[in-house]
Amino acid sequence: MEFGIWLQTLTNIFPSSKRQNSKLEMPFHTIVPESLSAPERHALMLSIVIPRPIGLISTISVDGLPNLAPFSYFQAVSAVPPLLLFCPNRNRFGRIKHSLINARDQREFVACMVTEEMAEAINYASGEFHDGVNEFEEAGFTPLASELVKPFRVAESPIQMECRVREVMEFSDKPLGGSIVIGEVVRFHISEELLRKSDGNLSQAVDHPEYQPISRLGGVAYGLLRKTFDMPRPKMTDDGKVVEGSHKITRKADLRTP
Ligand SMILES: Cc1cc2nc3c(=O)[nH]c(=O)nc-3n(C[C@H](O)[C@H](O)[C@H](O)COP(=O)(O)O)c2cc1C
């Protein structure tokens, strides 16, 4: 262990008397990432950035074998171009995941949103199956042909997005080593029910109470969208001042020391 890291770890275990006596409203425990084992870091990161949406990622191998796995390191990135990302990290033995191999080789994937009814089956599909296993069949999902890409859509999912790979980044070949796959959405397939407005026409965006994707929290916990609130963006004057909308923080941190 490097001296600096060792010292920081020691400071965390034996905080200085000044820190102990301070009247911080929120004393902070500082962690140097390198002082944790990879699994500990994994658990910490999973527990902090929550809730994470889940993308059920469908890919296909060069031999034509379909593959399906859930990823909660999954996010929308931009609209121009319409980008999504998912992060197939290496497993605890350093083995590269099928989803990464297929996305890298075939440059295509389909990202499907996950509802509560699909929860058990996406968890089932996350099992570390051997090479040659088709998780559509294993978990019982129904494959639907895509319009522009080879990987199948998942018929049980209310929103499926066909993507072409724009970028693959690999950061480490160690156990749990990270990687990012960025894809451009070339087709959105959205259940009409989720787009139907009260006048019967279809909306251009999803704003429907029936759309309840689940999210991943820390450990083995999952979240549901049960309580939401609306907050319009602040209106600004031409010279950059807020005229209407949100207000400043009301409860400030007390950082005074005795
Ligand atoms: C809800 C959920 C979210 C997951 N998120 C990720 C993730 O973001 N990155 C990752 O590498 N593995 C994640 N996993 C584990 C993979 O799904 C699992 O390793 C799977 O076997 C990978 O399959 P593959 O080898 O066919 O790609 C997640 C599992 C579950 C149940």
Looking at 77-143, list the stretches that DSSP marks H as alpha helix, in order from N- to C-terminal side: 98-106, 119-125, 135-139
Q: Are residues 64 and 128 in the same domain?
A: yes
* Residue 52 and residue 31 share a domain: no
Domain membership of residue 224 (yes or no) is: no
**pLDDT for residue 245:** 82
Look at residue 84 and tell me if it is in a domain.
Answer: yes
Mean pLDDT, 10 residues at a time, the chain of 258 residues = 51 47 69 97 97 98 97 98 98 96 98 97 95 95 98 98 98 97 98 94 92 97 93 91 85 74
> Based on the domain organization, do 18 and 138 belong to the same domain?
no
CA of 105 to the centre of ligand 1 (A): 19
Whether residue 41 lies inside any domain: the answer is no
Tokens 């658990």 locate to 43
Quick check: CB of 97 below 6 Å from ligand 1?
Answer: yes
Say if 97 falls within a structural domain.
Answer: yes
Q: Are 25 and 59 contained in the same domain?
A: no
Do residue 160 and residue 117 come from a single domain?
yes
How many structural domains are present in the chain? 2
- Alpha-carbon 251 to chain mean position: 30
Domain-located, residue 12:
yes
pLDDT of residue 22: 44
Quote the pLDDT of residue 133: 93
Instruction: Let me know whether 113 and 201 are in one domain.
Output: yes
The span from the CA of 167 to the CA of 214, in Å, is 27
> Is the minimum distance from the CB of 123 to ligand 1 under 6 angstroms?
yes
Instruction: Look at residue 111 and tell me if it is in a domain.
Output: yes
Shared-domain flag, residues 27 and 152: no
Position 247 scores a pLDDT of: 85
Do 16 and 77 share a domain, yes or no?
no
Collect all residues with Cβ–Cβ distance below 8 Å to 7 and sequence separation of at least 6.
none
d(CA 212, CA 215): 9
The residue to mutate among 72, 180, 216, 222, having the most atoms of ligand 1 within 8 angstroms of its beta carbon, is 72
Q: Show the CA angle centred on residue 161, arms to residues 199 and 214, nearest 5°.
A: 80
Which pTM was predicted? 0.89
Range of the structural domain that residue 21 is part of: 3-35
